Amino acid sequence: PVEEYGSRGREEATGRGVGTLAVKMLKRLNRRPEQTRTAIQGFGNVGSHAAKYLHEAAFPIVAVSDVTGAYVNPKGLNIPDMLSYSLKNKGLLSGYQGAQRIQPDDLLGLDVELLIPAALGDVINAKNVDQVKAGLIIEGANGPIDPEADAKLNERNVLVLPDILANAGGVTVSYFEWAQNRQHYKWTLDRVRQELDRTLSEAFESVWQESVSKKVSLRTAAFMLAIQRVKRASELAGWFV
């Protein structure tokens, strides 16, 4: 809680980060949000905040899911209505009448441009990877794509923004929380959002440039940069690497 040394914007941070990076990626690809049909697996803390951000950014979100099922509308879901419904229904979408209900796993194979797995690990795996039609995937969850599926997606030139970057919004604002407490000074919500967007945008550009220059996937590029930075920091600290 903010009253107990928490930070404003921490609850929304991971989902907002996913949304921020989705917008950033589309700009790099010269694509428009309005033409990017999106499916989000998971409507908890990460998925719901990502859905809210992307809806406000004009992405047509055609499917979302939670443990009760997947909810689909090819013309675009009414995300504000779904958020309001879930808040009144113990955080669940069960019984929601504003969309067609399908099996949760079927969401992964929908014909969309952007897929955001924001629930569990290994949901895209060797058994179902061939069903995935999305050309862009942003990993909102930790490890939602297993290594074998990741290799197959890479072979198909599916662009995957890895979890090491994509869901880093939460830990980033946790760092901001620590910094605020060290200063004994609370930031406004606007400042938290601005700093988060700036930090993630700079990280995305670094990973993108590394991917292009080294001709590797975004996942490999992210790990390469991370290792380089740890190595450099260790050298400056006088540690043997």
pLDDT band (50, 70, 90) for residue 1: confident
Of residues 239 and 43, more confidently modeled: 43
pLDDT of residue 225: 97
pLDDT band (50, 70, 90) for residue 241: low
Show me where the domains of the chain are located.
13-166
pLDDT of residue 240: 66
Distances (CA, A) of 234 to 14, 164, 171, 206, 228: 28, 21, 22, 20, 10
Q: Residue 26 is encoded by which pair of tokens?
A: 């589309």
Nearest to 64, CA basis, from 56, 53, 50: 50
pLDDT band (50, 70, 90) for residue 151: very high
**Looking only at Cα atoms, what is the longest distance across the chain?**
61
Q: What's the rounded Cα separation, in Å, for the pair 168 and 179?
A: 17
pLDDT of residue 29: 97
Q: What's the rounded Cα separation, in Å, for the pair 105 and 56?
A: 26
Full-model pTM: 0.94
pLDDT of residue 239: 84
pLDDT of residue 3: 81
Domain 13-166, CATH: 3.40.50.720
What value does the mean pLDDT take over residues 129-147?
98
Nearest to 204, CA basis, from 151, 174, 159: 159
Q: Are 33 and 56 in contact (CB under 8 A)?
A: no
pLDDT tens digits, one per residue of 55-88: 999 999 999 999 999 999 999 999 999 999 999 9
Segment holding 19, helix H or strand E: helix 13-28
